[in-house]
């Protein structure tokens, strides 16, 4: 294998260098291209253009290297010379794979390391560098190994390019979606497992020169997995394709409630002609010209969401379960979040680093670091600061000027290089804090905000002075989603209650919401109840039925059994999943997928029996199709070793050429007629010799 490694290395090193040069130019160009609509100036290694290059560029390099290693040797004489080396075919394949993998990393790693060095060097970007920002690019390169092994599989497998060979590439393509998962176990495990599967599938293919049933067991298993993933992707794509060309039907009947700037509660109902009917809560039409002409959002209160949960002992556990493994490694907001503090200097940019819990600032022109702000105040340059208490940022777009760190509410004033604590009471839990909204230009007022406590909502300014105290009049254990609005003259405050985030969504849809009008002293002026507004879903379509029918029943039943057993064993997360499951939709999926899968299994059994498959193979393929539905049927059609058949001279029915006797009439193959080119003469009978 060592000699095979160096042979491949010498022959293909030049292609690895070409790929390295191309990736270097592409990655640096994407870094210097500037931000686009989905990025901000802090997104360097997490910039969408850069991640596109590292992910798809690495995949292209992997495919090209894999095909260059195999396809030139597919000519009959070269392939025979390769396989007649005094080593096994498996050794040849492993030597090629290890050498190709080394060449792949030669082509992809140096450009990425150079990009990391450039992004980390001070003065190149007016944004902080966080080492964890390299994770998306690293996982993108790892996912490219799938495409390298897919190319090897395509090259060594015999047959039509439109058969099993291309499905290896489809399997790598569908598995690359795992790399975009927010769960690190899927982002790493999915591409790595598929790379191993494609490697074993290629190993099995070269070991028998294409015959599926003669491959070693791991080769057969890996080939089935790879082809099935590719077939499943193709089925889902073809079913989804009509949606791209059909005119989307408009759905109407959705209902919403809001408060206008005069304090009137309004009901909004969408109509069939894509309009909106506006009435009061009693159903009387509103003929106000402000709402009947142009946009009506200017005349509605803007509610600031302060918190989604208060008081329930179980909501913390739910949030922990939901967030477990949900770190979005590919999002720049997981590492750097723009800070929206009160600073008017357009030549500065400040960011919050959630992994180290402090703020950093940069000059936008010189791209030099200003300093950092932490719990112990401001420090210039690269001096260290003490971290703030935890800020559960999630996937927010920016850190507001009034924000909650631990149990302390701060107001950030970057002009003064200060982070001022404006609310803290020992032993008092703060459930949320956010700046309020203004109304003329619909922007955020950075100098005052709302703070949610266990029994009241307080409105404070940037110095901590209390402007209003709004006591709760509803059960915030179940209606703990709190939003605050205020009229333009800042004399009337509106506290809106929505179902708590820990409550199951199906139950939330059945729960009403409330809105209370109060003055600055917390006196209740009016209270309104908004009925439950269940979401309007589109009616079932034939595309939906087709998609449900093609799902693999084995996977559907397996997942339902997993959730049910987990719930019975005491898992709170799986119990919530089971309770929130749409029973009718689940029954439809199980019914439709089972019917189609059963029909395809019957076709498979009849087909294999008609072609005289061995009984063991008949039942194996029938069971496989029964479990995996249409994608399993396509896999069966692509992989099954179909017997070559010819007409039987005795009964005229087609019989397999590999069988010595006809399965219908038990006749043996007749001896071929002599044509004069036989090497050995026919042996004379004893009577002829005597005579």
Q: At what angle do helices 2-32 and 89-120 cross, to 10 degrees?
A: 30
Handedness of CA 284, 285, 290, 294 (dihedral sign): positive
Task: Calculate mean pLDDT across residues 421-443.
Answer: 77
What one-character-per-residue DSSP string does 89-132 give?
HHHHHHHHHHHHHHHHHHHHHHHHHHHHHHHHSTTS-SS---GG
End-to-end CA distance of the chain: 65
Closest among 107, 573, 511 to 319, alpha carbons compared: 573
Pair 649, 670: CB distance under 8 Å: yes
Q: Which residue has the higher pLDDT, 540 or 195?
A: 195
pLDDT for residue 482 is more than 70: yes
pLDDT value of position 61 = 93
Sort strands 466-471 and 481-486 into parallel, antiparallel or unpaired: unpaired
Q: Compute the average pLDDT of residues 150-176.
A: 79
pLDDT in tens, 101-111: 999 999 999 99
Whether residue 62 contacts residue 148, with contact meaning beta carbons closer than 8 Å, is answered with yes
Structure confidence by residue, pLDDT tens digits, 542-584: 667 788 888 898 888 888 888 888 888 877 777 777 776 777 7
Q: Band of the pLDDT at 95, cuts 50, 70, 90?
A: confident
196/567: higher pLDDT? 196
Residue predicted with more confidence, 542 or 177: 177
Residue 71 has pLDDT above 80, yes or no: no
CA 140/CA 131 separation, integer angstroms: 16
The answer for residues whose C-beta is within 8 angstroms of residue 75's C-beta and 6 or more apart is: none
Residue 295: pLDDT over 70: no
pLDDT tens digit sequence for 604-643: 999 888 877 888 889 999 999 999 999 999 999 888 877 6
**Confidence at residue 129, expressed as pLDDT on a 0 to 100 scale:** 92
SS3 73: helix
pLDDT band at 293 (very low <50, low <70, confident <90, very high): low
What does the pLDDT average to over 181-187? 73
SS (H, E, C) 573-618: HHHHHHHHCCHHHHHHHHHHHHHHHHHHHHHHHHHHHHCCCCHHHH
Query: Does residue 314 have a pLDDT over 60?
Result: no
The DSSP symbol for 238 reads: H
The C-alpha torsion from 638 through 643 and 645 to 649, rounded to 10°, is -160
Mean pLDDT over the full length of the chain: 81
Report strand pairing: 444-452 vs 432-437.
antiparallel
Is pLDDT of 358 > 90? yes
Calculated CA dihedral for residues 3, 6, 12, 13, nearest 10 degrees: 180
- Residue 325: per-residue pLDDT: 44
Q: Is the pLDDT confidence value at 672 over 80?
A: no
- 520 contacts: CB under 8 Å, gap ≥ 6: 459, 467, 468, 469, 491, 493
Q: Are 611 and 643 in contact (CB under 8 A)?
A: yes
List, in sequence order, every residue forming a beta bridge with 253; answer none if it has no partner.
none
645, β-bridge pairs: 656
Residues with Cβ < 8 Å from 296, sequence gap 6 or more? 278, 290
Is the pLDDT at 655 greater than 50, yes or no? yes
pLDDT at 82: 60
What are 34-54's pLDDT values in tens digits? 544 456 678 888 888 898 899
Q: Which has the higher per-residue pLDDT, 672 or 247?
A: 672
Is the pLDDT confidence value at 23 over 90?
yes
Q: What is the token pair recorded at 476?
A: 């915030």
**Is residue 208 exposed (0-12), middle (13-18) or buried (19+ Cβ within 10 Å)?**
middle
Greater model confidence, 278 or 211: 278
Name every residue whose Cβ is closer than 8 Å to that of residue 404 and which is 6 or more positions away in sequence.
391, 410, 430, 432, 433, 451
Task: Tell me the mean pLDDT in the region 142-155.
Answer: 87
For the entire predicted model, the pTM comes to: 0.79
Are the C-beta atoms of residues 108 and 141 closer than 8 Å to each other? yes
For 178, 221, 556, 596, 617, the CA distances from 552, given in Å and listed in that order, are 19, 18, 6, 10, 21
H helical segments located in 209-336: 217-240, 289-292, 315-323
Q: Quick one: what percent of the chain has pLDDT higher than 70?
A: 81
CA dist., res. 108 & res. 22, Å (int) = 10
Under 8 Å between Cβ of 57 and 30: no
**Whole-number Å distance between alpha carbons of 498 and 484:** 11
Q: Output the pLDDT for position 566.
A: 83
Alpha-carbon dihedral of residues 154, 158, 164, 167, nearest 10 degrees?
A: 10
What's the angle, vertex CA 488, arms to CA 483 and CA 489, rounded to 5? Answer: 115
Average pLDDT over every residue of 281-308: 76
d(CA 189, CA 183): 10
Structure tokens at 79: 């392939």
**pLDDT at position 313, please?**
47
* Local confidence band at 81 (pLDDT 50, 70, 90 cut-offs): low
Rounded distance, CA 668 to CA 658, Å?
11
Over residues 212-226, mean pLDDT = 85
Residue predicted with more confidence, 231 or 610: 231
| CA 189/CA 686 separation, integer angstroms | 74
CA dihedral 542, 543, 549, 555 (to 10 degrees): -150
Q: Which two tokens stand for residue 568?
A: 């019975």
Residue holding tokens 């989307």? 248
Write the secondary structure of 368-430 as one string of H (helix), E (strand) and C (coil): CEEEEEECCEEEECCCCCCCCCCCCCCCCCCECCEEEECCEEEEEECCCCEEEEEECCCCCCC
Closest CA to 176 of 140, 202, 150: 140
In which band, very low, low, confident or very high, does the pLDDT at 323 lie, cut at 50, 70 and 90?
very low
Q: What is the pLDDT of residue 438?
A: 58
Q: Tell me the sheet residues that pair with 529.
A: 514
Instruction: Inform me whether the pLDDT recorded for 441 exceeds 50.
Output: no
Q: How far is the C-alpha of 644 from the C-alpha of 583, rounded, in Å?
A: 48
Between CA 550 and CA 593 the distance in angstroms is 6
């Amino acid at each position: 294998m060592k000699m095979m490694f160096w042979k491949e290395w010498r022959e293909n090193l030049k292609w690895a260098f070409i790929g390295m040069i191309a990736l270097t130019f592409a990655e640096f160009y994407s870094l210097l291209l500037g931000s686009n609509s989905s990025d901000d100036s802090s997104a360097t290694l997490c910039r969408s253009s850069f991640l596109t290059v590292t992910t798809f560029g690495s995949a292209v390099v992997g495919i090209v290297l894999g095909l260059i290693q195999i396809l030139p040797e597919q000519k009959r004489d070269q392939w025979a010379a390769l396989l007649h080396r005094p080593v096994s075919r498996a050794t040849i394949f492993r030597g090629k794979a290890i050498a190709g993998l080394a060449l792949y990393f030669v082509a992809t790693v140096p450009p990425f390391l150079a990009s990391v060095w450039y992004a980390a060097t001070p003065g190149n970007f007016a944004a902080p560098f966080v080492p964890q920002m390299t994770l998306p690019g690293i996982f993108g390169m790892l996912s490219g190994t799938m495409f390298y092994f897919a190319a090897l599989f395509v090259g060594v497998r015999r047959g039509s390019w439109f058969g099993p060979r291309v499905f290896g590439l489809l399997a790598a393509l569908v598995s690359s979606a795992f790399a975009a998962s927010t769960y690190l176990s899927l982002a790493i495990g999915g591409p790595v497992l598929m790379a191993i599967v494609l490697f074993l599938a290629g190993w099995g293919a070269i070991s028998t020169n294409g015959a599926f049933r003669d491959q070693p067991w791991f080769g057969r298993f890996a080939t089935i997995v790879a082809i099935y993933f590719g077939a499943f992707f193709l089925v889902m794509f073809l079913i989804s394709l009509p949606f791209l060309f059909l005119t989307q039907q408009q759905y109407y009947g959705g209902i919403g409630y809001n408060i206008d700037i005069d304090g009137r509660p309004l009901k909004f109902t969408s109509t069939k002609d894509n309009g909106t009917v506006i009435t009061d809560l009693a159903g009387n039409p509103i003929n106000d010209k402000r709402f009947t002409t142009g946009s009506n959002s200017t005349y509605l209160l803007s509610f600031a969401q302060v918190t989604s949960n208060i008081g329930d002992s179980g909501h913390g556990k739910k949030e922990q379960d939901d967030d477990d493994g949900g770190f979005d490694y590919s999002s720049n907001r997981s590492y750097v979040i723009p800070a929206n503090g009160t600073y008017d200097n357009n030549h500065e940019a400040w960011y919050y680093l959630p992994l180290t819990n402090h703020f950093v600032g940069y000059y936008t022109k010189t791209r030099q670091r200003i300093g950092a702000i932490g719990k112990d105040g401001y420090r210039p340059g690269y001096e260290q600061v003490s971290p703030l208490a935890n800020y559960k940022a999630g996937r927010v777009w920016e850190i507001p000027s009034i924000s909650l760190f631990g149990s302390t509410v701060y107001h950030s004033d970057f002009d003064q290089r200060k982070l001022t604590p404006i609310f803290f009471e020992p032993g008092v839990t703060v459930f949320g804090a956010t700046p309020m909204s203004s109304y003329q230009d619909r922007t955020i007022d950075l100098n005052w905000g709302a703070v949610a406590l266990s029994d009241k909502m307080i409105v404070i300014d940037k110095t901590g002075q209390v402007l209003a105290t709004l006591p709760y009049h509803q059960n915030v254990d179940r209606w703990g989603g709190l939003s605050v609005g205020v009229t333009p003259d800042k004399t009337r405050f509106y506290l809106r209650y929505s179902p708590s985030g820990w409550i199951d969504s199906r139950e939330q849809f059945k729960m009403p919401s409330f809105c209370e009008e109060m003055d600055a002293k917390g006196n209740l002026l009016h209270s309104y109840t908004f009925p439950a507004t269940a979401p309007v879903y589109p009616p079932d379509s034939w595309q939906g039925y087709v998609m449900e029918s093609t799902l693999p029943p084995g996977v559907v039943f397996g997942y339902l059994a997993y959730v049910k057993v987990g719930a019975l064993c005491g898992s709170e997360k799986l119990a919530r999943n089971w309770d929130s499951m749409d029973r009718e939709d689940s029954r439809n999926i199980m019914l439709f997928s089972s019917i189609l899968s059963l029909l395809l299994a019957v076709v498979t059994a009849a087909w294999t029996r008609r072609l005289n498959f061995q009984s063991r193979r008949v039942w194996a393929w029938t069971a496989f199709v029964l479990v995996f539905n249409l994608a399993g049927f396509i896999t069966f059609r692509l992989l099954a070793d179909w017997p070559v058949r010819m007409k039987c001279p005795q009964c005229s029915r087609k019989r397999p050429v590999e069988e010595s006797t006809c399965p219908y009439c038990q006749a043996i193959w007749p001896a071929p007629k002599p044509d004069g080119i036989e090497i050995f003469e026919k042996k004379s009978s004893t009577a002829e010799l005597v005579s």
